[in-house]
A and B are shown apart, each in its own frame.
Chain A
Amino acid sequence: GDSVTQMEGPVTLSEEAFLTINCTYTATGYPSLFWYVQYPGEGLQLLLKATKADDKGSNKGFEATYRKETTSFHLEKGSVQVSDSAVYFCALSSGAGSYQLTFGKGTKLSVIP
């Protein structure tokens, strides 16, 4: 079945540091890939997505590239801010008529001033 593996946290960074959160997946077919962010006490918000190989999703300074050869979708940001502190979830939808999302376990990011 489908699965998503992302690096375990928590991750603590200083403001303006570079961020990478690794995500790899296992899926049949050609999944769509997502990064969701969850701020404390809130639901999930879509951060970015990529729907086919070599696509790069980007939003709010975050980027992730769909790498089919390595089955990866790593999240990066060049300079994090305190406001980026949240839990980040990598997810996939395998398509083929199934609309279900499979989530990774989440990575908690804390950015300190």
Chain B
Amino acid sequence: GAVVSQHPSRVICKSGTSVKIECRSLDFQATTMFWYRQFPKQSLMLMATSNEGSKATYEQGVEKDKFLINHASLTLSTLTVTSAHPEDSSFYICSARAPGHFIYEQYFGPGTRLTVT
């Protein structure tokens, strides 16, 4: 149980276009999901916390107009990178808290590799 999927696993887009990444909880309802960004050989940086039915809470320094997060249902959160630029190229990982599990534990998706050319 507590499986999180992401789609797509890899995406290449041209500079100036927008890209949407989906994060789904497959076998549980996730009231809270998290979006992370990971640079090569570095740790995960929390970008935002997403609660179902409300606006996401962004970490300091993360542009909310550039990284649009929508958590419209209990099983789906989306991250849209708007007007992408090469510096947005990164590995994006989502995670979710699962009801009934240890409240401070998160289950992670497999990640999405974004390359902006």
Instruction: Using CB atoms and an 8 Å cutoff, list the residues of chain A in contact with chain B.
Output: 32, 34, 36, 41-46, 49, 51, 89, 93, 95, 99-101, 103-106, 108
Contact = CB atoms under 8 A, between A and B. Distances in A.
B108 A44 contact: yes
Contact of B43 (A34, A49, A89, A99): A89
Nearest to B104: A93
A104 B105 contact: no
Given A43-B93, A89-B44, A106-B43, A101 B111 contact: no
B102 to A, nearest CB: 7
Contact of B104 (A32, A44, A104): A32
A42 B43 contact: no
A41 B97 CA distance: 22
B103 A99 contact: yes
Given A42-B110, A43-B93, A100 B105 contact: no
Of the candidates B32, B43, B46, B111, the one having the most CB atoms from chain A within 10 angstroms of its own CB is B43
B54 interface: no
Interface residues of B, number: 23
Contact of A43 (B103, B105, B110): B110
Contacts of A100: 34, 46, 49
Of the candidates B34, B108, B109, the one having the most CB atoms from chain A within 10 angstroms of its own CB is B108
A81 to B, nearest CB: 22
A46 B93 contact: no
B108 A104 contact: no
Given A43-B6, A101-B46, 8 more contacts: A32-B104, A41-B111, A44-B44, A46-B105, A49-B105, A99-B103, A101-B95, A106-B41
B105 A105 contact: no
B111 A42 contact: yes
B10 to A, nearest CB: 9
A41 B46 CA distance: 19
Contact of A34 (B32, B97, B105): B105
Contacts of A36: 108
Given A43-B93, A89-B43, A106-B43, A101 B110 contact: no
Of the candidates B44, B95, B109, the one having the most CB atoms from chain A within 10 angstroms of its own CB is B44
